Structure formats: structure tokens, C-alpha cells
Amino acid sequence: MSVKEIEVDELETVLSGGARLIDVREVGEYQSGHVPGAVLIPLGTVPDRVADFDGDGPTYIICKTGARSMRAAEFLAERGLDVVNVAGGTMAWMRSGRTIVDGDQPS
């Protein structure tokens, strides 16, 4: 199944409009630095938390480089959810010079 994908420039734009972003990395990775506003749902818990990805408009999914988030996005898209993978992941966000936050809270 084909999953939509966006670059971090587009992500910044949709986030400023209130889009939902879910980070599927592990807890330690997330706490070490994540995109502001990203909510943590580790990849291994995605099958049990499908309802958390459902909502008005697409849910954007991010990980470290875009591979795990693509797996999550494919899984969710197969279940009819509107999801978009962030190409390059958190590393691309950081390489672009954008701010990250640490800790266990989205912002």
C-alpha cells in the first residue's frame, strides 16, 4: 500500500496549522530529543493503539530516519487511517536546524 510522505519543510507548515504528529521511536530516543508537539507512541505499541491515530485530517508519523514511521504508516493505512510519513525523520528535522525538545512531554 502506498503511503503519503512529506519533507520536514512541509511538516513545519502543517504543524503550525495544528496537525497531529506522533513519534514512534522508543522512550529513550524520544526523551533525548523530539520535534516540538510530537506525541510518543512507540512502534511496538502501535497495533494496540490504532484508535490514537484516528482523527480529523491526517496524522503525521515520525521516527529517527523515516523507516520505522513508514512501517507504522503502512500498517495504519492498511486499516483505513489517513496517515503521512515524515521523510528523513527527526534527524532531517535536526539537520535542517530546527528546534527539538527533550524530556517526556510533547513540548
pLDDT digits (tens, 9 = 90+) for 71-97: 999 999 999 999 999 999 999 999 999
pLDDT at 68 over 80: yes
Sign of the alpha-carbon dihedral angle for 99, 100, 106, 107: negative
pLDDT at 28 over 90: yes
Identify the residue with better confidence: 14 or 2.
14
CATH class given for the domain over 4-95: alpha beta
pLDDT at 51 over 90: yes
Which residue in this structure is represented by grid cell 507548515?
Answer: 13
What's the pLDDT at 1? Answer: 67
Mean pLDDT computed over 16-39: 97
- Select from 86, 87, 89, 80 the least CA-distant residue to 1: 80
Q: What angle do CA 96, 32, 87 make, to 5 degrees?
A: 40
- Give me the catalytic one of 3, 46, 63, 73: 63
Please indicate whether residue 63 is annotated as part of the active site: yes
> Which residues neighbour 91 within 8 Å (Cβ) at sequence distance 6 or greater?
64, 65
